[in-house]
A and B are shown apart, each in its own frame.
Chain A
């Protein structure tokens, strides 16, 4: 019988209850007989429902003396108990021109991973692989790196050239959309090394009987489920809603999610004189999100930057009429004028215009779009399909 792969997943912390992507992936792999272990940088809380081993990086809290003792303790233990791998990592880093201080730091940083055996070392985010470019090779494991929108498009702005070393390595990449794949190839990554595996959702949960789908008679119910972060484009969304109000459309906008931009958005709504038409729900459960979606007509995802977007899949699966921006993966998430509508980003006038156009469609036209969206999401973005795609990657 063929031995099943052991996957080491590197994350910043164990996936929380709402981080469905990693939870679904772990569960899916386990259901197919794979063993998954987690390597995390911070272990504040240990989830009791993941059913996998979790190993955390050394804790460097405390005063300088304690930090120094921890550093050398980890370093010496790594050389004594795992000499081959530790030396290998040291030599690989040296060959990359890494300074001796950084070589030693890398050993300490990665000692908690080095000592385990895995077939694949899969970094859940691109930035997690920075300063760990040679760890998988030192462990004689294959290396995979997942890039999400933030990693690929925003992190390099803050840390210029952060992926230069990574992109020289023998790595398989997972991205969320064809556009991201295309952008990654511009860094010189070979096509066959990049796997597009789109996000997936629990389509059995996010569905509603057709009989329950109805168009609001009076107040147009609009909804967005998103972190309150600038990249979600909510300020532009509010500007579009101001235009709607001025043109006499009666609407209510529900925003589900929390984030650092709450004050910015409330003030924008206040200044645009639409605050009374908006409810900021904050963070809530999947069950409540489903209820909010059930009570809405139009879903907006007018992001500035977006890898792919699960929330938009969930809204389509629930039969909402969905309008998104054309940010990165969104125009693959929605097929324009087939399963929803795609509007150029940063153009609130165009968004307002599109909302009115959608509102004025006949019921049968709306139903056609809804059917196509539901059908496409249910068939192409379900969890099993996603797991199968990861299995193909790990069988390489």
Chain B
């Protein structure tokens, strides 16, 4: 079975790259299409059909696949061209994207970003099976704000061969746009956790409670709520330090920190290497996920695997990972008073209570969020799609 994992960028995001390497380890032949950045680091099982983001590279790419199709798949090219013209997509950019896929014709075309579905509905006309991942913003809010996108989903989702949902919650959301329930399979994100890894958490010696959030400064991360909660904590005389890794470029957050007089309590850091993130996580007393929208936040899984306590909002699929009081803590989305109350309550837990929760959290990750499990479940989706 040849599988195209398509995100449009080569390499892609961390979790898509994790899927790619997992599939390769399971002996799958993969094809990656799209714009290439950096050098090729993939194994021989991965065929990279990419171009650089410049006119010359695109022109060569287009010329190559136009000639191949004209010489060996003339009818197929004519059909694809007709489709592109009919959908008003007969542009050079569209041809650069589509011709290589038509030439290689993988059995499975796995589209990672649902927003692009209108560009790829044609693959089914040529015998390829279309698998679509249901992730975060693409399902949870973009179609709410963009009625045209919602209409595209309504037209295309019923025809998709199989869906990969990152959470039960997002699977339910996708059904609102016509995705058939029996074609959606929930596959949770997986982490690479060596069996030998032990929890490195020790009792904290710090005199202040160390809160940590990690993620880009996007509104969906809900940092404004976390900072409002910090203002409440400060008012209550609670001694804490809140670090947001990835928040330093946001004027909104910088202003809020100053406006709420939180300069001594909050550090906004820029992007840092993953090892530094892990070090911050290991040091933190609590990882806070104040998001208003998520599929399932990988940063929470990482923290749980490292033995750091997690307080997450109940957005998206987070309650599918965290059982409150058992392996972490949940706070209602957009409710700063309760967020502050929960932080205070967690800070008062005894070391033995914390240790139990950390152990259960670590077990949760080992049981439900390993790369191997994720890949096995993805392969099931592909097999199911090809059987139908």
Shortest A149–chain B CB gap in Å is: 11
Given A239-B334, A268-B292, A272-B334, A263 contacting B141 (CB threshold 8 A):
yes
Query: By DSSP majority rule, is chain B's interface helix, strand, loop, or mixed?
Result: helix
Are A267 and B293 touching (Cβ within 8 A)? yes
Shortest B54–chain A CB gap in Å is: 14
Are B145 and A262 touching (Cβ within 8 A)? yes
Asked if B56 is at the interface of the complex by the 8 Å CB criterion, the answer is: no
Given A157-B258, A261-B219, A264-B219, A270 contacting B252 (CB threshold 8 A):
no
Asked if B72 is at the interface of the complex by the 8 Å CB criterion, the answer is: no
Are B145 and A263 touching (Cβ within 8 A)? yes
Given A272-B334, A304-B259, A266 contacting B144 (CB threshold 8 A):
yes
Shortest B142–chain A CB gap in Å is: 7
Asked if B228 is at the interface of the complex by the 8 Å CB criterion, the answer is: yes
What's the tally of chain A residues with a CB closer than 8 Å to chain B?
A: 22
Given A263-B141, A263-B142, A266-B144, A305 contacting B255 (CB threshold 8 A):
yes
Asked if A251 is at the interface of the complex by the 8 Å CB criterion, the answer is: no
- State in angstroms the CA–CA spacing of A16 and B224 once bound together: 33
Are A266 and B145 touching (Cβ within 8 A)? yes
Shortest A280–chain B CB gap in Å is: 9
Smallest Cβ-Cβ distance to B147: which chain A residue: A266
Smallest Cβ-Cβ distance to B231: which chain A residue: A346
Asked if A53 is at the interface of the complex by the 8 Å CB criterion, the answer is: no
- State in angstroms the CA–CA spacing of A158 and B142 once bound together: 29
- State in angstroms the CA–CA spacing of A264 and B334 once bound together: 13
Shortest A163–chain B CB gap in Å is: 16
Given A230-B219, A272-B334, A267 contacting B141 (CB threshold 8 A):
yes
Smallest Cβ-Cβ distance to A268: which chain B residue: B292
Asked if B244 is at the interface of the complex by the 8 Å CB criterion, the answer is: no
Asked if A154 is at the interface of the complex by the 8 Å CB criterion, the answer is: yes
A270 contacts across to B, CB distance below 8 A: 141, 144
Asked if A271 is at the interface of the complex by the 8 Å CB criterion, the answer is: yes
Asked if B333 is at the interface of the complex by the 8 Å CB criterion, the answer is: yes
- State in angstroms the CA–CA spacing of A100 and B224 once bound together: 43
Smallest Cβ-Cβ distance to B219: which chain A residue: A264
- State in angstroms the CA–CA spacing of A263 and B255 once bound together: 22
Are A271 and B333 touching (Cβ within 8 A)? yes
Are A154 and B251 touching (Cβ within 8 A)? yes
Interface residues of A in 222-273 (CB under 8 A from B): 230-231, 235, 239, 261-264, 266-268, 270-272
Smallest Cβ-Cβ distance to B228: which chain A residue: A346
Asked if A55 is at the interface of the complex by the 8 Å CB criterion, the answer is: no
Smallest Cβ-Cβ distance to A269: which chain B residue: B144
- State in angstroms the CA–CA spacing of A344 and B334 once bound together: 18
Are A266 and B141 touching (Cβ within 8 A)? yes
Are A154 and B255 touching (Cβ within 8 A)? yes
- State in angstroms the CA–CA spacing of A153 and B257 once bound together: 12
Could you mark each residue 247-268 of chain B with 1 if its beta carbon is under 8 Å from any beta carbon of chain A, else 0?
0000110111011100000000
Interface residues of B in 210-258 (CB under 8 A from A): 219-220, 224, 228, 251-252, 254-256, 258
A271 contacts across to B, CB distance below 8 A: 292-293, 333-334
Could you mark each residue 298-341 of chain B with 1 if its beta carbon is under 8 Å from any beta carbon of chain A, else 0?
00000000000000000000000000000000000110000000
Shortest A39–chain B CB gap in Å is: 27
- State in angstroms the CA–CA spacing of A154 and B219 once bound together: 18
A267 contacts across to B, CB distance below 8 A: 140-141, 144-145, 220, 292-293
- Interface pairs (27), CB distance under 8 Å: A154-B255, A157-B254, A157-B255, A158-B251, A230-B219, A230-B224, A231-B252, A235-B224, A261-B219, A262-B145, A263-B142, A263-B145, A264-B220, A266-B141, A267-B140, A267-B141, A267-B144, A268-B292, A268-B334, A270-B141, A271-B292, A271-B293, A271-B333, A271-B334, A304-B259, A305-B259, A346-B260
CB within 8 Å of A: which residues of B?
140-142, 144-146, 219-220, 224, 228, 251-252, 254-256, 258-260, 292-293, 333-334
CB within 8 Å of B: which residues of A?
153-154, 157-158, 230-231, 235, 239, 261-264, 266-268, 270-272, 275, 304-305, 346
